[in-house]
Structure 1
Amino acid sequence: MTLEMFLADAEATDLLGRQLARALPERAIAYLRGELGAGKSTLARALLRELGVSGAIKSPTYTLVERYVLPAGEAAHLDLYRIAESGELDFLGLDDLAAQARLWLVEWPERGGESLPPADLDIALDLSGAGRRARLQSRSPAGEAWLAGLSKLAALGASS
């Protein structure tokens, strides 16, 4: 299943993040793709905030992984932009993360290669004029359920 949409501004990107949080399955891995400035971190912050993360939501650009306690589990936000080769991920404790995290948000997943678990949902953001184009593609049954829930929210007109 694939959904495509135009996000006119940062608020539309935030709305997509909030709706993704509301439709989140029990456990999920989302790959966030797009060039620098495409809105990956903006989307991740909105999703995490909607899941109940309070306080600062830091970009993991330099730390590579930021972990957040959620009311129902844990979330991990990874930014692999600074990874030169997938073998560098061996030192990040991803096995421990896999056992504990309800949600993984992975920016620049192509740099992680085979060291990453497969995505349930692949989200590509591309700059388009003043806005962005978003393409969400399911990669597993959990991803299918996630997109189906997102489609249902959109059909109901959920906007806040």
Structure 2
Amino acid sequence: MTLTLPLADLAATGRLAGRLAPLLRPGDAVLLEGPLGAGKSALARALLRALAGDPALEVPSPSFTLVQSYDLPGGAEAHHYDLYRLEGPGDLRELGWEEARRGIVLVEWPERLGAERPADALLVRMAYGPGEEDRVATLSGWDGRLAAVPDGAG
């Protein structure tokens, strides 16, 4: 199943995250693809805030640290990876990839995962829309669960 949603602004990205967050569970991976500035980090931040139930949660970019981890309500964990600067999939071990997969992982630049790319992940391709703030999110994977995200989520 593939779902394409127009996102008119940052608030629409937040609404999409609010609809996705309740569907996420430990062991899930959300792979965020798209060019620089397309909204991958904005969606990851909104998802982490929704998962934590804290709209004011500070969510720094993991661009330089490569991974940021978060404790979620109920004892779950989420890990936000930005693999843009990663040399290759062999470096994932040093970043705690295997342990992180027990929680929820959000991965920007998943192309760098190589063979470690989870086959059962939700893929979110972010793209520029027609207007300056417009974005388009194309979601695929999660065959059964993706149907729970209504077309008007954005």
Q: What is the TM-score with the length of structure 1 in the denominator?
A: 0.84
Post-superposition shift, 1:22? Answer: 2.5
Match of 1:57 in 2: 59
Match of 1:117 in 2: 118
Match of 1:149 in 2: 148
Q: Residues 158, 119 of structure 1: CA spacing in aligned structure 2 closer, same or farther, 3 A cutoff?
A: closer
Q: Residues 124, 83 of structure 1: CA spacing in aligned structure 2 closer, same or farther, 3 A cutoff?
A: same
* Residue 97, structure 1, aligned to residue 100, structure 2: yes
Post-superposition shift, 1:117? Answer: 3.1
Match of 2:5 in 1: 5
Q: Which has the higher contact order (CA 8 A, sep 6+)?
A: 2
Tell me, which stretches of 5 or more residues in structure 2 are unaligned?
A: none
Whether the 8 Å contact between 1:40 and 1:107 is mirrored in structure 2 is: yes
More strand by share: 1
Match of 2:39 in 1: 39
Match of 1:80 in 2: 83
Post-superposition shift, 1:17? Answer: 1.0
- How large is the RMSD of aligned CA atoms in angstroms? 1.9
Q: What stretches of structure 1 move > 6 A for 4+ residues in a row?
A: none
Whether the 8 Å contact between 1:30 and 1:106 is mirrored in structure 2 is: yes
Post-superposition shift, 1:65? Answer: 0.8
Deviation string 1:110-130 (CA, Å, 9 cap, x unpaired) is 012113433421000001122
Q: Residues 128, 158 of structure 1: CA spacing in aligned structure 2 closer, same or farther, 3 A cutoff?
A: closer
What is the percentage of aligned positions where both structures have the same residue? 43
Whether the 8 Å contact between 2:30 and 2:106 is mirrored in structure 1 is: yes
Whether the 8 Å contact between 2:32 and 2:106 is mirrored in structure 1 is: yes
Counterpart amino acid of residue 18 in structure 2 = R
Tell me, which stretches of 5 or more residues in structure 1 are unaligned?
A: none
Deviation string 1:116-159 (CA, Å, 9 cap, x unpaired) is 43342100000112201110001xxxx123312223xx5xx778
Tell me which moved more, 83-92 or 73-82.
Answer: 83-92
Separation in structure 1 between the aligned mates of residue 7 and residue 153 of structure 2, nearest angstrom: 15
Q: How many residues align?
A: 149
SS in 2 for 1:111: helix
Whether the 8 Å contact between 1:2 and 1:137 is mirrored in structure 2 is: yes
Separation in structure 2 between the aligned mates of residue 96 and residue 56 of structure 1, nearest angstrom: 23
Separation in structure 1 between the aligned mates of residue 77 and residue 6 of structure 2, nearest angstrom: 30
Q: Residues 89, 26 of structure 1: CA spacing in aligned structure 2 closer, same or farther, 3 A cutoff?
A: closer
Q: Residues 158, 38 of structure 1: CA spacing in aligned structure 2 closer, same or farther, 3 A cutoff?
A: closer
